[in-house]
Structure formats: structure tokens, C-alpha cells
Chain A
Amino acid sequence: MKNLSLNLSLNLSLGRQLLLALGLLILLPGNVDPDNGFTLLNSASAAEADSVIGVASMAEAELVPAPKPGRGDYPSVGVSSRSVVWVVAQMHMFFAAFVLAVPLFVLVIEWIGVKTGDDRYDDMAHEFMKISMTAYSITALFGGALAFALFLLYPQFMEYMMRVFGSQTLVYAGLFFAESVCLYVYYYSWGALRYGNRKWLHLTIGLMLNAVGLTLLVIANAWSTFMMAPSGVNEAGAVTGSIWEIMKGPLWNPINLHRFLANIAFGGAIVGAYAAYKFLSARTQEMRAHYDWMGYTANFIAILAFLPLPFAGYWLMAEIYAYSQQMGITAMGGILAWLFIVQAVLIGTILLAGNYYLWSGMSRTEGSIRYTWMVKYIAIVLVAGFLVWVTPHTLILSASEMAELGGSHHHLLGPLGIMPAKNIAVNLMLIFTFMSFQIYRRADKVATVSWEKAGNALMVSIYLVAIANVIFAGVYYGYFTNTVYKVGSSVMQVVSTLMVIVSGIVIDGFMYKGAKILPSVWGRVSNRAQYALFALPVAFTWLMALMGYVRSSVRTHWHVYTVMKDNSPDNYIPTIGHAGNMMTIVTVLFLLCVLFIFWIASLANTKQPPPAPVTSKPS
């Protein structure tokens, strides 16, 4: 009986811990600190805390190290086990990202609908949810397939992970029941809970859906980050800490933030593709206008969530370096460094597509002619920035090539290959993308506040000084001081960019209160611009696959870094071409699945007309 109560309280406080984890997600520092872990435990009741520690120490009495499988111990099904898990895992993560993201911005759009009283927002939110319903079951299908693949092909690794994470895996499974309930109730009660207090109930259900979804995200994130930077275990892999210490490794919060933002951007991009497709196949002007507006909203969400992503990624990389300089350098200065050049190509695509869509969209309103002269210069900066970003530093050259070049780096282009130049390029690209955003938002408005001139003077000053600061920090600290100051100056650049974004939003928010709205026509946008909305999710998907590969391969020949070695036949790092081919496979598969989902969504609306009644011909 005593054991039963111990187990119950373990699960209860675990669940409570998880919800607290959700709430304190961003606030807690990312460093592992056993003392902090117990601080959280103490916030629960003392009895529960004691019982948790009691259960933990019962298990710890016997320190069982991580298993050491030999090459022959890995099961084989005739094809590369890594490839199987790669495809299934990546498909699961694509869909999981999508179904987590959609409820996030659907809730916001629904709330905007309540605030403005505009039915269009509510209808759009409902339509977005419809798309994600089919995706939800596909997520679960791939999740189940992934579990099977992992247990079949990597049994020793899974035995270890189950031992480390213990009953938390059951909590994870249980949360899916909560997720399903929230999801189905949220979607199917849309009409029934439409107005007044019922609407607030509906919004609450949506909030619960998101809370459960986020909890699922952070739990799964803990498995990935544990594999990269294990915490709560000793050098041999035996569990020595509580589940909280195991979860809260140094990389957990950076991944939480990065995936949270990236999911939103990804979800927005996919929904944008849906809107673009419906726009192109629209048969009436009303439909064109409706889907044009939807596409714009989706692009807005995607780019808005995308802008802070590089900063979250930077934080993640900084924590990786702090945890293990070796892992950090393997990623960005060693064998995996070329992947970041490929990343530059993808992000360049995303930024160019997003910007192009905004510029094309300016044709919706006459007021845009005040700003269209800027587009040329923004385009120049974006292209130049992209070229700098894509320039590699170390070239793998043959002896004769090296002799011709006069060294292993080009004397002019070499300096463009290192981080200071790239940081300048990225930050400028983000600043100028925000500029596209800002002039688009301003295009259909005329400010009526008295301090318009001063406000614009301030805005322009902020742009000028921020750009100058980014360039100064990059050039001076990047090339003329030591490594430590060079790395530190990138924070200066990042904050400058953030300053532009934040001040732009704030200043425009106040300056355009009560502004005169110029007429704009939804639907008056070129068909060509819709292709930007296809480029966005395609690039996002491939980029997600690329970054997932980086996260996975940075562990090199370890299942769990420093704790459980990978002795499988696939334990080497594949060539970048092979990795790229795998990414293409999963992207194409995902594309086909998404088309299937869109088709299902429209199929649900299709009704076959009943056959015409048979009239008997008089003979």
C-alpha cells in the first residue's frame, strides 16, 4: 500500500512539475544546477517532495551504467537502420511541428476576431483548424511507427532511454489523451460555442489545447537534448539525478525556445501555401480576395515568427559551445561546417520569398507608391547579404589549387567566410526584411498624429544607427580584436536588430492610431506572388530537415554523448550529399502528405448532387 501511494505521488508531482516547467519555460536559466532542481521540488508539498526523493534514491541504490552494444548486437532489417529512423523521425517531427503550431496562431486569430468583432477572423481561424485535424492523426501514425522502428532497430539504446526517463514516457502517452480531447472539443464545438460567454469558454479550451501541446513539445525536447548533453547521469550513464535534473539539461530551454518559434513559422508557411493554392484555383473575385487575405495573414505569421529565430538559434549554439567546445566546433568549424553554408542558401530563399511576397502585395493599395522606391535598395542589400553569407571560409583544395590560390583561403573572399562577416550579413538582412514589413504595413495608411515628422525622424535614425552599429561591431570587433570580444560583439549586433524591430512595432503602433486608411483591394495581387507562398514552406521544410540532421550528427559516434557509444554499422557521419538526398526524400514525402491533407479538407466540403429523378417515358 505504501509503495502504491509513493508511485501515485511521483506521477502527480511529475505532472505538476511539467506544468510548472511549461510556465517557467523561458525564465529559468539553461544551466544544469542540481540545487535549482530541488528548489522546484520544494515548491510542491514537502511530503510529495520527500516521496519523490525517496523513490529516486530507491532506484539509485544500484547504479546501472549505460549499455555497451557491440556492432553485432544491432538488429538489421536489410536496409540502413539509420535511414529508416531518419525518415520516420523527420516525418513525425514535420507533422508534430505543424499540429503544435496551428492551434497557437489559431487561438490568437480567434481572439483578434473577438476583439474586432470581425467574422472573417473567426472563419479563418476555423478554416486553419480544419486543415490541421487530418495532420494530427498522421502525426500519431508516424509517432507510432517511429516508436516501433526505434525499439526494433536500437533496442539497447531504447532500453537505456526508458530506464533514464522512466514513468515520464507514460505521462507523455497520457497527455495525448488530453490533447485529443481538447482538440476534438475545440474544433467541433466551434459553432456551438460561438458568441458571448460561450466564446470565452471556447477560447479557454483552445488555451488548454495549446498548454497540453507545449507540454508534449518540452517533454520530447528533453529526450533530444539529453542525447546531446546528458544531465542527471554519471560518467558511465547510471541515473544519479531526479527526472527534473535529467530533463533540464543545458540545451533544453534553448531548444524549447527555438522549436517553439520555428514551429509557428513553419505552421504559418504551410497554411500560407494552402491559401495560395486556393487563391490560384479560386473561381470568383470574392474567393480570390478571401484567400489573398488568408495568404497575407499566414505570411505575416511566418515572417514574424521567423525574425527572432536566428537569435534563438544563436543561443542554442552558444549553449552547445559552453557545454562542449568540441561539439560546437565540430558543428561550425569542423566536418559539419558546410551544412551552415547550405543553411545560408535556404534562409536566403526564405527571406527573398517572404520579401518578394510583401513587395508584390504592395500593389493592393495606391498608397504604396510612397514607398516602392525603397524596394530596389532592400533587394540589393538582401542579395548582397545572401552572397556574403553563402561564402565559405575554408575551401577543401587540392595541392595545385592551393598553390594557385596562394593558401587555403582566398585573400579577398576568405575574410568574408568567417562569422563577423556573416553576422553583419544576417543582421542586415533581418533589418531590411523588417523594413519591407514596415513599409507594407504603412502602405495603406496616412498618419494623422501631430508628431508624425518627429516619429519618422526617430525611426529613420534608429535604422541608420542600428545598421551602422551592426557594421561597426562586425568589422571592428570581428577583425581587429581577439576572439572573445569578437564573439561578444555578435550580441551587440543582435540587440541592434531587435531594437529596430521592437521600436518599429512600437512607434508605428502609436503613430498610426486613428490613421486615415487608404482603399486597398484584397485579391489584387499577381498570381506569380503566390509562388513565393509555395517557396516558403518548401524551403522551411528542407531547412527543418537540415537543422534536424545537424542536431543529430553533432553527437558524432554517440547515441548519448559521452555516455553511450554508437557502435552500429551506421555510426559514421555521412557525406553532405547523402544527407541532402535524405532531406529531399523526406521533403517530397511531406509535400505529398500535405497535398493529401489539403485534398481531404476540401473533400469534406464536396457534396455529390443527387441523381436526377427518372421520368418514365410514355410508350
Chain B
Amino acid sequence: MSKQIKVSSNIILLKVLGFSLALILVFTLVANMLPQVEGEAPVEKEVDLGALTMDSFVALGESTFSGKGTCTLCHNNMGRAPDILALKMVEVSESRLQDESYQGKSTDAESYLRESMIDPGIYVVRGFGKKGSNDTISPMPAVNKAPIQLTDVEIDAVIAYMQAKDGNEVTVPLPTEAPVMEVALAGSLPAPAATAEEALGRYACAACHTILGTESPVGPSLTDVGKRLDINEIRQSIIDPNAVAAEGFAIGIMPADFADRMMVRELEMMVQFLANQKG
């Protein structure tokens, strides 16, 4: 005997929908009540090499360490990798070099730190190797390759930071050269600067000379150099700055190797531009 059961489909549909939406709301609320953090993608920043001081270089290292370098993902107190922030890295580096299992090519703390970053597999600190590899394989990626891809300047900055944070002397020199351009697969040379302003920026003239809106007392102002020097004298000041000193300024301060570093096109653009700077 089939009993007829009273039922209303619409009510059921509403109940089912209501229940489902309420449950979905619970999940949505959970997601929205948790701490909301956005993950910024790393942005390519132009490092103003001219304005770099040792302090700002070390600070760059510190921000790279916890930022683009993503070092703190593993180098913390959870035991996955040496806790760099807690260790005195120069002393630790020197003791690692003494380890009989060390097979790398470094001789001092700075080179050891650089080697650890570019070729982490060459020496694995005991207890930190990949599981089951008996400390022969390092789980650390090479930081100058993808996905981290730190530039040489950034790597040097991080090393400087690791030295400076414990009060040790920073042996890494400040970068003065323009960073090496990303070399295309075909192995082509970096393109010359497109404009005089770009060339002035590339060779960090504004670090010492007042020009293009920035001021600096280190060298003579260039805003009126076209009035003071003729075009050949301007060229000579760049190629051979120690030949003639500007009035009130000493020789031996301006870098003397621009002739080796600049391209002819860049030099000529700058010379033309400066010759037109008549204040």
C-alpha cells in the first residue's frame, strides 16, 4: 500500500537553498575573519648606486633578506635551515670553512657566504640536508637563479648585511659600477643609453654634480657648465678628469675610468647635452 505523503516541492527547494547558502556563508565568514595579508610581487627597483652609502647598502641587504630574497621562509628558528638572524654569521662562516667535509673553493667569510648563495649544493651543513640524502643534497635553491633571481648587487648587499648585523667589518665593497644588464640568450651586448638623461643616470653623475634637478656639493655644478667650458673641455673632463681640476675642487675624486666604461655614443650625447647647459 503506497501511502501518499504531503509534500511541497517549493518549500523543500527553499529550505535546501537556504541551508546551502547559510553553510556557504559560514565558510565565507571564516575566510574573511582571518588575518588579511596581501602578497606583493617583487617589483624591479632601480638602485641609485650614486647615492649609496654603506648604511643604506646594509639596509638594502636587510630588506632583500626578508623581501625579494625570501630567505626568512627557511632561515628562521624552526630548524629547517641555519637561523641566520640569530647566528653570528662571520664566525659561523669561518668555522664552516674549517669543517673537514667542506669541499668548496672559499677562503674567507665573504666568499663562503657568496658561495653558499650561488652554489648551495657544494657544501651542506650537517643536519640540514634533504631528507634521506645524508646531508649530501641541499634543499636550498641558487639565489641568483629563478625563482629568486637576486642580482649581484643584491647578493652583495645581503652579504654586507650578514656581516654588519653582528658588528663585524663589512668587507664587501660598495657597488660603483652600473649593474650588469640582463644578457639575452644570444649573448648580445647591453644597449647604449637612449638619451643623454639616461646616460647621466646610468653613470650616476648626479651623485656628485648638481644636474637634472638633484643637488650635490661634491663636484662642480653642471647646470651652467656650457658657459664655463667649451665642448672639448667638457669631453676631457669626463675622459680624463684628473688633467684639469675645477676651481675650488680637488683632483682624484671623480672616477677616471669612464672612458673604459662608456660607449662612444653615450659620451657624445652627454657632451652635447652638457654643452647646452648654460644656467
Closest to A334 in B: B73
Q: What is the CB-to-nearest-CB distance from B81 to chain A, in angstroms, rounded to a whole number?
A: 9
Give CA–CA (A330, B28) in the complex, Å. Answer: 23
User: With a CB–CB cut-off of 8 A, which chain A residues contact B74?
Assistant: 325-326, 329
Give CA–CA (A576, B79) in the complex, Å. Answer: 27
Beta-carbon contact of A534 and B16 below 8 Å: yes
Which of B30-38, B49-57, B241-249, B257-265 forms contacts with chain A?
A: B30-38
Kindly identify, within residues 1 to 50 of chain B, every residue whose CB is under 8 Å from any CB belonging to chain A. 2-5, 7, 9, 12-13, 16-17, 19-21, 23-25, 27-28, 30-32, 34-42
Beta-carbon contact of B41 and A577 below 8 Å: no
Kindly identify, within residues 551 to 572 of chain A, every residue whose CB is under 8 Å from any CB belonging to chain B. 556-558, 561-563, 566, 571-572
Interface string of B72-94 (1 = CB under 8 A from A): 01100011100000000000000
Closest to A65 in B: B185
Give CA–CA (A346, B17) in the complex, Å. Answer: 19
Which of A276-284, A305-313, A370-378 forms contacts with chain B?
A: A276-284
* Contact of B105 with A by CB under 8 A: no
Interface string of A4-36 (1 = CB under 8 A from B): 000000000000000000000000000000000
Closest to A321 in B: B139
User: With a CB–CB cut-off of 8 A, which chain B residues contact A557?
Assistant: 41-42
Which of A235, A283, A531 makes the CB contact (< 8 A) with B145? Answer: A235
User: With a CB–CB cut-off of 8 A, which chain B residues contact A579?
Assistant: 31
Which of A158-166, A359-367, A582-590 forms contacts with chain B?
A: A582-590
Beta-carbon contact of B73 and A333 below 8 Å: yes
* Contact of A573 with B by CB under 8 A: yes
Beta-carbon contact of A556 and B41 below 8 Å: yes
Which of A329, A482, A542 makes the CB contact (< 8 A) with B127? Answer: A482
Which of B7, B9, B17, B32 makes the CB contact (< 8 A) with A577? Answer: B32
User: With a CB–CB cut-off of 8 A, which chain A residues contact B39?
Assistant: 335, 556, 572-573
Give CA–CA (A325, B141) in the complex, Å. Answer: 8
User: With a CB–CB cut-off of 8 A, which chain B residues contact A180?
Assistant: none
Which of B34, B40, B139, B147 makes the CB contact (< 8 A) with A562? Answer: B147
Beta-carbon contact of B147 and A580 below 8 Å: no
Beta-carbon contact of B36 and A576 below 8 Å: yes
Q: What is the CB-to-nearest-CB distance from B184 to chain A, in angstroms, rounded to a whole number?
A: 9
- Number of A-B residue pairs at CB separation under 8 A: 146
* Contact of A141 with B by CB under 8 A: no
Closest to B81 in A: A325
Q: What is the CB-to-nearest-CB distance from B64 to chain A, in angstroms, rounded to a whole number?
A: 15
User: With a CB–CB cut-off of 8 A, which chain A residues contact B42?
Assistant: 557
User: With a CB–CB cut-off of 8 A, which chain B residues contact A584?
Assistant: 24-25, 27-28
Chain B contact residues (Cβ within 8 angstroms of A): what range?
35 or more
Q: What is the CB-to-nearest-CB distance from A562 to chain B, in angstroms, rounded to a whole number?
A: 4
* Contact of B176 with A by CB under 8 A: no
Which of A280, A349, A542, A556 makes the CB contact (< 8 A) with B147? Answer: A556
Closest to A584 in B: B28
User: With a CB–CB cut-off of 8 A, which chain B residues contact A538?
Assistant: 20, 23-24
Give CA–CA (A352, B255) in the complex, Å. Answer: 73
* Contact of B278 with A by CB under 8 A: no
Given contacts A282-B5, A484-B131, contact A338 B147 (CB under 8 A): no
User: With a CB–CB cut-off of 8 A, which chain B residues contact A341?
Assistant: 34
* Contact of A581 with B by CB under 8 A: yes
Give CA–CA (A324, B34) in the complex, Å. Answer: 27
Interface string of B139-162 (1 = CB under 8 A from A): 111000111100000000000000
Interface string of A327-340 (1 = CB under 8 A from B): 00110011100100
Beta-carbon contact of A588 and B24 below 8 Å: yes
Q: What is the CB-to-nearest-CB distance from B37 to chain A, in angstroms, rounded to a whole number?
A: 6
Q: What is the CB-to-nearest-CB distance from A126 to chain B, in angstroms, rounded to a whole number?
A: 22
* Contact of A109 with B by CB under 8 A: no
* Contact of A197 with B by CB under 8 A: no
Give CA–CA (A63, B187) in the complex, Å. Answer: 13
Beta-carbon contact of A342 and B34 below 8 Å: yes
Beta-carbon contact of A483 and B30 below 8 Å: no
Closest to B182 in A: A68
User: With a CB–CB cut-off of 8 A, which chain A residues contact B130?
Assistant: 322
Given contacts A63-B185, A576-B34, contact A534 B20 (CB under 8 A): yes
Closest to B146 in A: A562
* Contact of A345 with B by CB under 8 A: yes
Q: What is the CB-to-nearest-CB distance from B196 to chain A, in angstroms, rounded to a whole number?
A: 24
Which of B28, B41, B73, B147 makes the CB contact (< 8 A) with A581? Answer: B28
* Contact of B70 with A by CB under 8 A: yes
Kindly identify, within residues 529 to 555 of chain A, every residue whose CB is under 8 Å from any CB belonging to chain B. 531, 534-535, 538-539, 542
Sample of 29 A–B contacts (CB below 8 Å): A63-B185, A235-B145, A277-B12, A282-B5, A284-B2, A322-B130, A326-B74, A338-B35, A349-B23, A396-B37, A483-B79, A534-B23, A535-B19, A538-B23, A538-B24, A539-B23, A539-B27, A556-B147, A573-B39, A576-B31, A576-B37, A577-B32, A580-B31, A583-B27, A583-B31, A584-B24, A584-B27, A587-B24, A591-B20
9 extra A-B contacts, CB within 8 A, seeds A326-B141, A556-B41, A575-B37: A285-B2, A285-B3, A325-B80, A326-B70, A396-B37, A573-B39, A576-B37, A577-B34, A581-B31
Lowest 6 A-B CB distances belong to which pairs?
Answer: A580-B31, A573-B39, A562-B146, A557-B41, A575-B36, A577-B32
